[in-house]
């Protein structure tokens, strides 16, 4: 049976097999600007549901409680939940609710690379900047970045190209204390890694990256010039500084119709 507290956000949950999973508690949400709310809510829920805090089968709060928590309409919440279901993160059961699916299996491709190369896929320099703002990170994003008391972050959303063709939409979160005034630099013509190195003296030494298949949402499809539901790669990357801190947390969507990954196994 579902129970909620005064805020409507604490739920007594059960696994789909009947065993208890503990309460689902959503962290406070900080609303951003310029990006549609269902995208912001989707990104916020992805961070929380993949944090390892909740067990598989955990039930999400009901739609009415989610509407109150995020301050949006039921239609917006349903759109965000539909995108989580397409990502394979949750299962939706009419009349019963939405439940967290079992985490995906992970495996190393070839162990590790002997040399970290920060350029990643062969993209054109620079990008079309959709947004670059400094704001206070909500607790979920602050935890992902490993931030302490100072939770100011630079949120950078860019459309990247290869051969002039839009290939990937990247959303980066960077500690504002490390990169003050980032928006003043020429983000439309230079690689971000070059700006961090040349203007801030910051060297990125290694990264953890997760890649999985997904289908494109309506918002991402409009930016990339493809159809909603087209196959894409969903990429999550944490890039580290020499002292172990995270210099950039990035989530990206890359077109599956114009790009593929190649691995050399030796």
DSSP, residue by residue, 134-194: EEEPPHHHHHHHT--S--EEEEEEEEEEETTEEEEEEEEEEETTTSTTGGGS-TTTS-HHH
pLDDT 10s digits, 50-83:
888 888 888 899 999 999 999 999 999 999 999 8
In this structure, are 149 and 207 located in the same domain? yes
136 inside domain:
yes
Least confident window among 28-37, 129-138, 176-185: 28-37
pLDDT 10s digits, 153-170:
999 999 999 888 899 999
User: Which of 84, 100, 116 is at the close of a domain?
Assistant: 100
In this structure, are 133 and 213 located in the same domain? yes
- CATH number of the domain residue 228 falls in: 3.40.1410.10
In this structure, are 169 and 238 located in the same domain? yes
- CATH number of the domain residue 62 falls in: 1.10.10.10
pLDDT 10s digits, 6-32:
333 433 334 434 433 555 778 889 888
Category of 46 on φ-ψ map: left (φ > 0), alpha (ψ -120 to 50) or beta: alpha
* Beta strand residue intervals within the chain, DSSP E: 10-11, 24-25, 90-93, 97-100, 128-136, 152-162, 165-175, 206-215, 231-240, 246-255
Could you tell me how far CA 154 lies from the centroid of its own chain?
14
Asked if residue 34 lies in contact with residue 25, where contact means CB atoms within 8 angstroms, the answer is no
Beta bridge partners of 234: 212, 253
Q: Whole-angstrom Cα distance, residue 229 to residue 248?
A: 28
pLDDT score of 2: 37
Q: Whole-angstrom Cα distance, residue 132 to residue 258?
A: 27
Residue with tokens 């609303």: 31
Query: Does 262 have pLDDT greater than 90?
Result: no
Could you list the residue range(s) of the whole structural domain that residue 37 is in? 10-100
30 inside domain:
yes
Q: Is the model more confident about 106 or about 103?
A: 103
pLDDT band with cut points at 50, 70 and 90 for residue 118 = very low
**What is the side-by-side order of every strand in the sheet holding 206-215?**
128-136, 152-162, 165-175, 246-255, 231-240, 206-215
pLDDT score of 6: 36
- Percent of the chain's residues with pLDDT above 70: 83
Query: Does 112 have pLDDT greater than 60?
Result: no
Please state the domain count of the chain: 2
pTM, rounded to two decimals: 0.69
Average pLDDT over residues 205-218: 89
In this structure, are 145 and 240 located in the same domain? yes
In this structure, are 194 and 232 located in the same domain? yes
Residue with tokens 């992805």: 46
2 inside domain:
no
User: Which of 81, 100, 119 is at the close of a domain?
Assistant: 100
pLDDT score of 72: 95
């Amino acid at each position: 049976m579902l129970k909620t507290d005064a805020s409507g956000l604490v739920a007594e949950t059960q696994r789909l097999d009947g065993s208890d999973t503990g309460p689902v508690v959503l962290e406070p949400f900080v609303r951003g600007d310029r990006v549609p709310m269902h995208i912001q809510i989707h990104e916020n829920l992805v961070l929380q549901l993949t944090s390892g805090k909740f067990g598989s089968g955990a039930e999400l709060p009901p739609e009415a409680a989610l509407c109150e928590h995020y301050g949006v309409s039921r239609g917006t919440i349903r759109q965000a939940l539909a995108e989580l279901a397409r990502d394979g993160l949750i299962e939706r059961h009419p009349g019963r609710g939405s439940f967290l699916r079992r985490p995906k299996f992970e495996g190393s491709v070839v162990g590790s690379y002997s040399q970290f190369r920060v350029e990643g896929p062969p993209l054109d320099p620079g990008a079309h900047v959709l947004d670059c703002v400094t704001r206070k990170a909500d607790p979920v994003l602050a935890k992902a970045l490993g931030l302490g008391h100072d939770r100011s972050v630079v949120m950078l959303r860019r459309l990247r190209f290869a051969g002039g063709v839009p290939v990937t939409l990247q959303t980066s979160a960077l500690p504002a204390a490390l990169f003050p005034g980032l928006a003043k630099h020429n983000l439309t013509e230079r690689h971000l890694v070059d700006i961090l190195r040349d203007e801030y003296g910051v060297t990125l030494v290694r990264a953890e990256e997760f890649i999985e298949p997904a289908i494109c949402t309506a918002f991402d499809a409009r930016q990339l010039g493809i159809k909603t539901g087209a196959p894409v790669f969903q990429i999550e990357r944490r890039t580290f500084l020499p002292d172990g801190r995270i210099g950039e947390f990035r989530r990206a969507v890359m077109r599956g119709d114009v790009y593929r990954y190649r691995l050399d196994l030796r």
